[in-house]
């Protein structure tokens, strides 16, 4: 019985030692990232470095999936809430007039999604750069050339997910810009109409034409998408040059 208890204690102590060692490895990486130069020490075994890099790659991929999932979830909730506001019964009397809330709910929703897509795009760019470096280190441990790492591949899952976020964000920015432009034209048209004229907010009933707001929306959407894609290409290519990749291998 005593031998059995002692064996159990030794096993628990062994697991704690492994966890402590993994925590020390992570601390070494954080200290090196901030520029701290540690004293001379015995280098880590290639097997330990392999496990650490593999875990970091898994974390980066998880962060990518989580970021895109958060954006899609927030977009679904906001659009559902905005469309729900448009169907609220007229007998509801909130502090802010219901007509004002219904008038601004869709433009504010699409503007929020456009801003959120920018932050998600930055997170995906950061995760892509980190993933390239970790894969390069992993290939160095396996004896594979760094040329196997594709920095920008339009057919990669990473690029497609980033493109999905950018296109949805661009569509949101375009819709918001078109709605703001249409509202501005509607106000200008209403000010020029005589008193008692028909409602000027509906096209075809005295309201402004939709050609100008549509053109504004398409232009904003194209600038938004092209700008974020250019930022993706330039940032990834600039931060993963051959010189930096070689330095990361050492």
Distances (CA, A) of 144 to 42, 147, 148, 158, 236: 24, 9, 8, 22, 21
Quick count: other Cβ atoms within 10 Å of Cβ 140? 19
pTM of the model as a whole? 0.69
Q: Read off the pLDDT of residues 171-205 as tens digits, 9 standing for 90 and up.
A: 999 999 998 888 887 766 655 555 444 444 454 44
In the predicted model, is pLDDT for residue 41 greater than 60? no
Select the more confidently predicted residue: 45 or 107: 107
In the predicted model, is pLDDT for residue 48 greater than 70? no
Select the more confidently predicted residue: 23 or 164: 164
pLDDT of residue 156: 83
């Amino acid at each position: 019985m005593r031998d059995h208890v002692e064996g159990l204690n030794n096993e628990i102590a062994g697991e704690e030692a492994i966890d402590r060692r993994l925590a020390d490895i992570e601390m070494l990486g954080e200290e090196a990232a901030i520029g701290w130069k540690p004293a001379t020490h015995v280098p880590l075994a290639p097997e330990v470095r392999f496990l650490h890099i593999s875990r970091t790659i898994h974390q980066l991929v998880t962060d990518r999936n989580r970021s895109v999932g958060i954006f899609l979830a927030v977009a679904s909730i906001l659009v559902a809430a905005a469309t729900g506001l448009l169907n609220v019964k007229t007998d509801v009397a909130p502090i802010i007039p219901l007509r004002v809330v219904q008038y601004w709910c869709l433009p504010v929703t699409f503007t929020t999604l456009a801003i959120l897509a920018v932050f998600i795009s930055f997170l995906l760019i950061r995760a892509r750069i980190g993933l390239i470096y970790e894969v390069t280190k992993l290939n160095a441990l396996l004896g594979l050339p760094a040329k196997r790492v594709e920095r920008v591949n339009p057919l990669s899952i990473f690029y497609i997910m980033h493109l999905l976020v950018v296109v949805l964000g661009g569509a949101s920015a375009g819709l918001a810009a078109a709605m703001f432009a249409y509202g501005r034209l509607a106000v200008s048209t209403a000010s020029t109409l005589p008193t008692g004229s028909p409602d000027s907010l509906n096209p075809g009933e005295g309201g402004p034409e939709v050609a100008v707001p549509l053109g504004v929306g398409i232009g904003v959407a194209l600038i938004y998408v092209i700008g974020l894609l250019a930022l993706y290409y330039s940032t990834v290519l600039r931060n993963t040059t051959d010189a930096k990749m070689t330095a990361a291998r050492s």
